[in-house]
């Protein structure tokens, strides 16, 4: 299996040189292979979200290299980072981060608005994804009328609209009960079977005990503590 | 001084443009002094964000300048009744000859900001932003012209004294007069027609050559020819194209063709000419920057696209301006 | 293209979602635009009307000036003028203002008929056009209605009756008939220069549509006017001169000054320029006053654009996190500005149109028109041209857009990872 994401000695400092300087992660080097399901585990404040946003080209590292599909993105300007993000990643956030007061389908289509894909084509895509995730009956509902589980499924649908290779999920089950978490994890499993690489940051044991997860990377205080390979076949 | 709504709008607009230009230049200086594409410091990040602000400002300035060229001509046209003997915008501009300079500075600001927008467009396509420093230095050249333009415009309106006897286009562009404008219209007709079509033909030929063979000389030649096409076309509009539009052997005004009476034919004529010339010129202006490795293919691709655009626009320009010559019942035999 | 279309679509839907927030800005914007358009529409159609009427006016009027004051002109000057090459018909005109103490108002008196026309080769004794009473000072007062001619009066359609043909007959304007409570077959009396009362029989009342020209007008016989004003019979108010070739007018004018040094020739062009300057100046003054309001509006726009609600901030953060770039958000903001501007311009223009052309410019008229008591309740002819539309567009949209650039940029550079850390 080839490596899709690689970080080399990545350090991220927020507000460097200021009184409120925060060293979020230090000297992190990890590799993620294509088609893998990886969990970043650790308590809150351990730097998993920062690492996730570094991998996902949302922020740039203060030092070190981040290589996505063989390309170093660490020094890339925002314009190009966004381009890579649009092509490569789908994001599922902890707080669903859906835009209230617009319809579910619009929310799902939104990532592709600033592209040259025709609106009708995006709509078709969104409909088929919603079908798969079982929320097509909620298509024209406003977001605030959805239940928590439905909102998270809508958020996953949105992350799939750009047909990404990699899905990055930040605490996807934090606001869901066990039943719904179960359901969401089944969705992730199915996506993985379809060939998507999935990286989940969580401190929920329910997730990293799942069978289909191949690796867990444990983080603490901004450094990688331990990497556990669960996939015994390899 | 004239209190006229159009004048007030133009002056307000110019002041805003100046403020924006100065602000953008200050940001520009900051950017080109501290720009370091390899740094991931917080400062670099904030500079990078400021580049968005500067390009937004210049894009808007570009838009405002285009509008203000038109408003300036319309206003000159609207106030012509104030001047004895003036019958259109030309007369108003003659009432205080600074007016012509205002028109020229506006055009210069227009071309300069268009070049900036093109540079910005190219620069943003390359991951290392290789033109950033050049771009922000360019701002320091545009700003003074914008200020000069506002100053001249103020001087023009302040210096206008209604009731001054001025010559209108009839007199200015009449064959008997002296000066550049009237020597333009007294240019012998046949040679002028030949030069016009000849230059356009050469331009188009050169454009095709530069599309076919990717050599630098043809690019530079294209830029030069585009500039010549510009002046020759303006001269031709005054000298003979306008005559066919107006169907009057003595009416040489370059502004009246913008009027409703002539079906606004001036708009497509000037818009295609200006943009066609611009796209022709920009291919040559960008040529030296091809040396930077990361830009080579980007510029080449842009040049190709812009050359094609230029060809199309100039062709449309020629068709529209020849339309009247070919299909008008009016003939200039004997003039 | 697709991309811009979709961003525009999103802009529209997000503006609609937040319509109440934007309503304030649109209301103020529309109000300013409406004010500016009202001024332009009003002055423009007044100017237009004046110029239309002036078209019929004689090219050249000769007044006598003594001691710098306008004086009655001897009719034998006409012979001298006739000698100038290129001069056509020459007509003396009789007119003047009359102050009526009873109603405390001013009338314009005009004498017709019996005018002796000097003409080289025709006996045509028609009332050759157009007394344009524009004595010194009148230009500054800018009373558009002061411009009239016999032909215009005929063209303006008398609602009732006819023009006076005999002595002691008169035709009066709507305004005069109203303040004097009289009409056709009624009577009107005027006091002449010696204090004697002259009674006139009203044979016609001008239609109210022509009010701008005829409201305070009383047309009487020329001999009556001589009597009323106590003018010697060899004098006229001024002389209208026809010049065959338009290009020779300045030449004829200077020739007249040369042979008759105590006269002042006034060219139609000069009158037109005077009106033009006057109306431009008036609308310019009010425009300048509104610049303050415009500035206040820009500050408001700046403030509104800066004060993003938490929800909006969150929304931009989300957009950026899911793949929108700073430039895309800037474009969103650009469209927002365009949509708000155009909505306001359109609303403002409609309000101004209704205000000026249906409600008779009720708010501005007192400032712009003059102060004659008898000023007519006229209806303006709707006249709008692209130039006016463009001027206000330029004057309002550019400051508005410019004042939202920095706030929009600040919003657009929102860090996408804010939503991740939320």
Cβ-based contacts under 8 A for chains A and C: 81
Q: What is the pLDDT along chain B (335 residues), one digit of tens a residue?
A: 567 889 999 999 999 999 999 999 999 999 989 888 887 777 888 898 999 999 999 999 999 999 999 999 999 988 887 877 777 888 888 888 899 999 999 999 999 999 999 999 999 888 888 888 889 999 999 999 999 999 999 999 998 877 655 555 545 555 555 556 666 777 778 888 999 999 999 999 999 999 988 788 999 999 999 999 999 999 999 888 888 888 877 778 888 888 888 888 999 999 999 999 999 999 999 999 988 878 888 999 999 999 999 999 999 999 999 988 888 776 665 54
- φ, ψ of residue A123 to 5 degrees: the values are -65, -45
How confident is the model over C369-398, as a mean pLDDT?
72
Extract the tokens encoding C323.
């793949």
Quote the pLDDT of residue A188. 93
C379 band by pLDDT with thresholds 50, 70 and 90: low
Quote the pLDDT of residue C159. 57
C136 and C65 within one domain:
yes
C151 band by pLDDT with thresholds 50, 70 and 90: very low
What is the nearest CA distance from B7 to chain C, expressed in angstroms? Answer: 9
Give the nearest chain B residue to C404 (CA atoms).
B57
Quote the pLDDT of residue B175. 54
Q: Is B36 part of the contact surface with chain A (CB cutoff 8 Å)?
A: no
C365 band by pLDDT with thresholds 50, 70 and 90: low
What is the DSSP code (8-state) at residue B84?
B
**Measured between beta carbons, which residues in chain B are less than 8 angstroms from residue C272?**
81
B: neighbours with 3+ CB pairs under 8 Å? A, C
Query: From residue B134, how far is each of A32, A161, B38, B115, B220 by CA, in Å?
Result: 40, 39, 17, 12, 20
Quote the pLDDT of residue B172. 56
pTM, to two decimals: 0.83
CA neighbor of A152 nearest in space, from A114, A183, A121: A183
- Cα C221 to chain centroid distance, Å, stands at 31
- Option in C1, C324, C419 nearest A93 (CB): C419
C5 band by pLDDT with thresholds 50, 70 and 90: very high
C197 and C119 within one domain:
yes
Taking the CA atoms of C32, C33, C36 and C39 in sequence, report the sign of the dihedral they define. negative
C213 and C129 within one domain:
yes
**Measured between beta carbons, which residues in chain A are less than 8 angstroms from residue C322?**
91, 97, 110-111, 158
**Residues of the domain holding C164:** 58-266
Mean pLDDT lowest among A136-145, C159-168, C225-234: C159-168
Quote the pLDDT of residue B331. 66
Which are the contacts of B224, defined by CB distance < 8 A and separation ≥ 6? B284
pLDDT tens column, C198-222: 899 998 887 765 556 677 788 888 8
Quote the pLDDT of residue C118. 36
Q: Is A97 part of the contact surface with chain C (CB cutoff 8 Å)?
A: yes
- Option in A58, A110, A162 nearest C319 (CB): A110
Number of domains present in the structure of chain C: 2
How confident is the model over C338-356, as a mean pLDDT?
94
Q: How far is the C-alpha of A182 from the C-alpha of A30, rounded, in Å?
A: 28
CB contact under 8 A, C326 and A111: no
Q: How far is the C-alpha of A104 from the C-alpha of A121, rounded, in Å?
A: 17
- Option in A62, A75, A80 nearest B38 (CB): A75
- Option in C285, C395, C402 nearest B3 (CB): C285
Q: Is B42 part of the contact surface with chain C (CB cutoff 8 Å)?
A: no
Quote the pLDDT of residue B304. 93
**Measured between beta carbons, which residues in chain A are less than 8 angstroms from residue C332?**
none
Residue A193 · residue A32 · CB < 8 Å: no
CA neighbor of B275 nearest in space, from B321, B245, B312: B312
Q: What is the DSSP string of C369-414?
A: H---TT-----PPP---HHHHHHHHHHHHHHHHHHHHHHHHHHHT-
C177 and C309 within one domain:
no
Element at C217 (helix H, strand E) = strand C217-221
Extract the tokens encoding B5.
């709504």
How confident is the model over C378-397, as a mean pLDDT?
83
CB contact under 8 A, A119 and C326: no
Query: From residue B311, how far is each of A25, B271, B322, C278 by CA, in Å?
Result: 55, 14, 16, 49
Q: How far is the C-alpha of C171 from the C-alpha of C184, rounded, in Å?
A: 9
**Measured between beta carbons, which residues in chain B are less than 8 angstroms from residue A74?**
40
What is the nearest CA distance from B125 to chain A, expressed in angstroms? Answer: 9
CA neighbor of C157 nearest in space, from C207, C108, C112: C207
Quote the pLDDT of residue B182. 66
Q: How far is the C-alpha of B92 from the C-alpha of B7, rounded, in Å?
A: 13
- Cα A217 to chain centroid distance, Å, stands at 15
A: neighbours with 3+ CB pairs under 8 Å? B, C
Q: How far is the C-alpha of A13 from the C-alpha of A29, rounded, in Å?
A: 16
Query: From residue B150, how far is each of B68, B103, C390 by CA, in Å?
Result: 11, 11, 20
CB contact under 8 A, B41 and A16: yes
Per CATH, the number for A3-95+146-229 is 3.40.50.300
Residue A202 · residue A41 · CB < 8 Å: yes
Residue B166 · residue B83 · CB < 8 Å: yes
Q: Is C319 part of the contact surface with chain A (CB cutoff 8 Å)?
A: yes
Q: What is the number of alpha carbons within 13 Å of residue A230 lying toward its C-beta?
A: 15
Query: From residue C149, how far is each of C51, C97, C133 by CA, in Å?
Result: 13, 16, 10
Quote the pLDDT of residue C117. 37
Domain boundaries along the sequence of chain A:
3-95+146-229
pLDDT tens column, C97-149: 888 888 778 888 888 754 433 333 333 333 333 333 333 233 323 333 333 34
CA neighbor of B245 nearest in space, from B256, B233, B232: B256
Quote the pLDDT of residue C119. 35
Residues 112-131 of A with CB under 8 A from C: 112-119
Give the nearest chain C residue to B165 (CA atoms).
C250
Residue C53 · residue C148 · CB < 8 Å: yes
**Measured between beta carbons, which residues in chain C are less than 8 angstroms from residue A59?**
415-417
Q: How far is the C-alpha of A138 from the C-alpha of C90, rounded, in Å?
A: 88
For residue C266, is it left (φ>0), alpha (ψ between -120 and 50) or beta?
beta
Q: How far is the C-alpha of C138 from the C-alpha of B85, rounded, in Å?
A: 24
HEC readout, C226-271: HHHHCCCCCEECEEEEEECCHHHHHHHHHHHHHHCCCEEEEEHHHH
Cα-Cα end-to-end distance for chain B: 41
CB contact under 8 A, A80 and B38: no
The domain boundary, picked from C214, C243, C266, lies at: C266
Q: What is the DSSP string of C140-196?
A: HHT-GGG---HHHHHHT-EEEE----STTEEEE-HHHHHHTT--TT-EEEEE-TTS-
Cβ-based contacts under 8 A for chains B and C: 104
Taking 3-state DSSP, the helix, strand and coil percentages for chain B, each rounded to the nearest 5, stand at 80, 0, 20
**Measured between beta carbons, which residues in chain B are less than 8 angstroms from residue A60?**
40, 45
Q: What is the pLDDT along chain A (234 residues), one digit of tens a residue?
A: 689 999 999 999 988 878 888 889 999 999 999 999 999 998 888 999 999 999 999 888 989 999 999 999 988 888 899 999 999 999 998 888 899 889 999 999 999 999 999 999 999 999 999 998 989 998 899 998 998 889 999 999 999 999 999 999 999 988 888 888 998 899 999 999 999 999 999 988 888 788 888 899 999 999 998 888 876 544
Adjacent-strand bridge partners of A216 = A39, A228
C287 band by pLDDT with thresholds 50, 70 and 90: confident
State chain C's mean pLDDT as an integer: 79
CB contact under 8 A, A75 and B45: no
Quote the pLDDT of residue C177. 85
Residue C348 · residue C26 · CB < 8 Å: no
**Measured between beta carbons, which residues in chain C are less than 8 angstroms from residue A53?**
417, 420
Give the nearest chain B residue to C407 (CA atoms).
B53
What is the nearest CA distance from C248 to chain B, expressed in angstroms? Answer: 12
Q: Is C391 part of the contact surface with chain B (CB cutoff 8 Å)?
A: yes
C125 and C34 within one domain:
no
């Amino acid at each position: 299996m080839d490596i899709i994401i690689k970080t080399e000695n990545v350090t991220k400092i927020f507000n460097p040189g200021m009184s409120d300087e925060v060293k979020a992660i230090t000297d992190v080097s990890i590799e993620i292979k294509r088609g893998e399901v990886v969990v970043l585990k650790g308590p809150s404040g351990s730097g998993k979200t920062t690492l996730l946003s570094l991998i996902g080209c949302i922020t740039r590292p203060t030092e070190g290299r981040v290589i996505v599909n063989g390309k170093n993105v660490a020094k890339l300007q925002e314009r190009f980072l966004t381009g890579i993000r649009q092509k490569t990643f789908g994001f599922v956030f902890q707080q669903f981060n859906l835009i209230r007061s617009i319809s579910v389908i619009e929310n799902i289509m939104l990532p592709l608005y600033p592209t040259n894909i025709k609106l009708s084509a995006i709509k078709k895509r969104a409909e088929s994804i919603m079908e798969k995730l079982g929320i097509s009956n909620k298509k024209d509902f406003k977001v605030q009328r959805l239940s928590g589980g439905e909102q998270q499924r809508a958020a996953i649908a949105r992350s799939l609209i750009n047909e990404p290779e990699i899905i990055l999920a930040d605490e996807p089950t934090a606001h869901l009960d066990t039943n719904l978490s179960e359901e969401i994890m089944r969705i992730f499993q199915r996506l993985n079977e379809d060939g998507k690489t999935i990286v989940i940051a969580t401190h929920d044991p329910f997730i990293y005990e799942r069978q289909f997860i191949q690796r867990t990377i444990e983080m603490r205080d901004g450094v990688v503590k331990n990497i556990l390979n669960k996939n015994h076949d390899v | 001084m004239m209190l006229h709504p159009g004048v007030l709008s133009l002056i307000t607009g110019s002041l805003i443009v100046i403020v924006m230009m100065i602000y953008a230049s200050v940001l520009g200086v900051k950017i080109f002094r501290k720009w370091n594409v390899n740094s991931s410091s917080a400062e670099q990040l904030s500079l990078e964000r400021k580049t968005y602000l500067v390009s937004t400002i210049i894009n808007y300035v570009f838009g405002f300048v285009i509008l203000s060229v038109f408003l300036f001509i319309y206003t000159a046209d609207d106030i012509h009744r104030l001047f004895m003997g003036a019958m259109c915008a030309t007369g108003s501009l003659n009432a205080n000859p600074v007016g012509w300079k205002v028109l020229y500075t506006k055009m210069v600001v227009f071309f300069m900001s268009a070049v900036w927008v093109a540079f910005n467009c190219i620069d943003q396509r390359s991951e290392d932003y290789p033109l950033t420093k050049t771009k922000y230095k360019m701002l320091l050249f545009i700003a003074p012209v914008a200020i000069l333009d506002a100053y001249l415009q103020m001087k023009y309106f302040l210096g206008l004294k209604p009731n001054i006897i001025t010559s209108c286009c009839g007199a200015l562009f009449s064959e008997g007069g002296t000066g550049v404008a009237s020597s333009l219209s007294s240019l012998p007709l046949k040679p002028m027609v030949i030069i016009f079509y000849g230059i356009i033909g050469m331009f188009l030929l050169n454009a095709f050559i530069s599309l076919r063979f990717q050599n630098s000389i043809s690019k530079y030649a294209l830029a030069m020819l585009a500039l010549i096409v510009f002046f020759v076309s303006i001269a031709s509009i005054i000298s003979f194209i306008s005559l066919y539009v107006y169907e009057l052997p003595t009416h040489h005004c370059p502004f009246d063709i913008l009027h409703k009476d002539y079906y606004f034919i001036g708009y497509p004529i000037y818009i295609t000419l200006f943009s066609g010339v611009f796209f022709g010129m920009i291919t040559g202006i960008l040529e030296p920057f091809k040396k930077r490795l990361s830009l080579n293919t980007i510029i080449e691709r842009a040049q190709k696209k812009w050359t094609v655009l230029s060809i199309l626009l100039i062709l449309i320009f020629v068709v529209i301006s020849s339309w009247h010559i070919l299909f008008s019942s009016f003939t200039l035999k004997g003039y | 293209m697709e991309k811009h279309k979709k961003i525009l679509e999103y802009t529209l839907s997000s503006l609609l979602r937040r319509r109440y927030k934007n309503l304030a800005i649109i209301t103020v914007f529309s109000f300013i635009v409406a004010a500016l358009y009202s001024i332009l529409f009003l002055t423009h159609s007044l100017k237009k009307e004046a110029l239309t009427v002036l078209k019929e006016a004689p090219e050249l009027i000769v007044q006598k000036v003594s001691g710098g004051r306008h004086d009655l002109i001897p009719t034998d000057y006409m012979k001298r003028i006739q000698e100038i090459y290129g001069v056509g018909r020459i007509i003396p005109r009789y007119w003047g203002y009359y102050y009526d103490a009873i109603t405390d108002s001013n009338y314009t008196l005009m004498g017709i008929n019996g005018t002796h026309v000097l003409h080289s080769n025709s006996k045509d004794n028609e009332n050759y056009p157009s007394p344009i009473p524009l004595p010194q000072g009148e230009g500054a007062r800018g009373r558009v209605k002061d411009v009239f001619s016999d032909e215009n009066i005929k063209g303006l359609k008398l609602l009732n009756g006819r023009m006076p043909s005999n002595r002691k007959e008169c035709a009066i304007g709507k305004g005069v008939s109203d303040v004097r409570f009289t009409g056709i077959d009624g009577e009107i009396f005027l006091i002449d220069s010696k204090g004697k009362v002259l009674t006139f029989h009203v044979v016609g009342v001008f239609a109210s549509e022509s009010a701008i020209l005829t409201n305070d007008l009383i047309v009487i016989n020329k001999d009556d006017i001589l009597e009323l004003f106590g003018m010697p019979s060899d004098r006229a108010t001024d002389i209208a001169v026809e010049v065959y070739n338009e290009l020779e007018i300045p030449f004829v004018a200077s020739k007249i000054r040369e042979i008759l040094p105590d006269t002042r020739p006034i060219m139609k062009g000069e009158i037109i320029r005077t009106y033009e300057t006057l109306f431009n100046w008036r609308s310019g003054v009010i425009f300048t006053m509104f610049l303050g309001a415009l500035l206040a509006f820009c500050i408001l726009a700046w403030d509104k654009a800066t004060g993003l609600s938490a929800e909006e901030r969150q929304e931009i953060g989300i957009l950026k996190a899911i793949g929108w770039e700073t430039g895309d958000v800037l474009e969103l903001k650009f469209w927002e500005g365009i949509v708000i501007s155009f909505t306001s311009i359109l609303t403002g223009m409609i309000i101004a149109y209704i205000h000026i052309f249906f409600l008779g410019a009720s708010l501005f008229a007192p400032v712009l028109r003059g102060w004659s008591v008898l000023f007519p309740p006229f209806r303006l002819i709707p006249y709008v041209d692209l130039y006016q539309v463009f001027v206000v567009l330029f004057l309002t949209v550019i400051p508005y857009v410019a004042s939202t650039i920095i706030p929009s940029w600040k919003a657009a550079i929102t860090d996408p990872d804010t939503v991740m850390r939320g």
